[in-house]
Structure 1
Amino acid sequence: MIVSRARGDVMVRAGGRSAQWQSLIRRGMLHSECEGVEYWALPPGARLDIRADHGVEEAILVISGQLTLRVDEDETITANTGQVLLVPHGVNGVLRTGARPATAVTVRGLPADVSARLPRRIPELLPAD
């Protein structure tokens, strides 16, 4: 695994609050349909926007705490420690922490209609010695 890290952890703004972000893997390192894997440490009251034009599908694994996803202004889904939120391609949403901090790992991948157009990548078998 390749971990991208600046001096210390990277601090980003999440809804006006500082959050810790770390890129664990990026697409060029994977040779697959996976866009990236990221770690988030979010303070209480943090907000992350999910935009339909990101061009990816996303799985959000809640490592600790609770995250609430509001999708397209009409559906709210809450995930607790150990649960996964699945966000399909083309969805607008807002991801929020509650009164306590939360940590999560996100895995972003290309949508099925995009990956279906990519050439198959099959490991090459080497002849036995």
Structure 2
Amino acid sequence: MIVSTVDEPVHGAVGLDTTATAAWTCLVRRGMLHSECEAVEHWVLPRGAVLAATPRHGVEEALLVLEGELRLTTETGDRAVRAGQLALVPHGRTARLAADRTEVRLITVRVLAASVADRLPPRVPELVPR
């Protein structure tokens, strides 16, 4: 398993700390999963941190909030996502994730879009006979 941990600079929301960093841990990446999953990541976002999901990422995302509350803004409006809740960001959509009120801990799972995954050969682990 590959585990990477980095403190990443994040964009501060208007009026909040713009020098904050998010603690980011990649728990596993694509080749280790034998699936169309790109990555499973753990984030700790300080109050005021803003993350963006954009179509150029080329993935769909599932966001599971573990602690705190995120404000999820999409083309259809704003929504609060609280601890224990899951939000989905479909492929090709833009979303803004803001930790406006408190620090937020979340897990993100990024998967290839079906339009991409359907064109790939199956990913099957290779077992070497003994």
TM-score of the aligned structures, taking structure 2 as reference length: 0.84
Which of the residues 96, 102, 105 maps onto 2:104?
A: 102
Inter-CA distance 30–92: structure 2 relative to 1 (3 Å threshold): same
User: Unaligned 5+ residue runs, structure 1?
Assistant: 125-129
> What are structure 2's unaligned runs of at least 5 residues?
12-17
How much does 1:75 deviate? Answer: 1.3
Equivalenced residues, count: 122
- Distance (whole Å) between structure 2 residues aligned to residue 106 and residue 56 of structure 1: 11
TM-score normalised by structure 1 residue count: 0.84
- Name the aligned partner's letter for residue 119 of structure 1: P
- What is the CA deviation profile of residues 8-55 of structure 1, one whole-angstrom value per residue up to 9, with x for unaligned ones? xx2111113211011111112112100001110011111011111110
Can you list the C-alpha shifts for 1:38-86, whole angstroms capped at 9, x where unaligned? 11001111101111111000000001000111113x4112110010110
Identity of aligned residues (%): 48
Residue of structure 2 equivalent to 1:11: 7
- Whichever residue aligns with residue 115 of structure 1, its letter is A
Matching residue of 1:31 = 34
Secondary structure of the residue aligned to 2:122 is coil
Stretches of 4+ moved more than 6 A in 1? none
Distance 1:23 1:105 in 2: 10
Matches within 5 A, 1:28-107: 28-72=31-75, 74-107=76-109
Q: Secondary structure at the match of 1:118?
A: coil
Question: C-alpha displacement at 1:123, in angstroms?
Answer: 7.0
Secondary structure at 1:24's aligned position in 2? strand
CA separation in 2, counterparts of 1:123 and 1:14?
36
Contact 2:60 2:113 in 1 (8 A): yes
When residues 18 and 98 of structure 1 are mapped into structure 2, their CA distance, relative to the original with a 3 A threshold, is same
Please tell me the root mean square deviation across aligned C-alpha atoms, in Å: 2.1
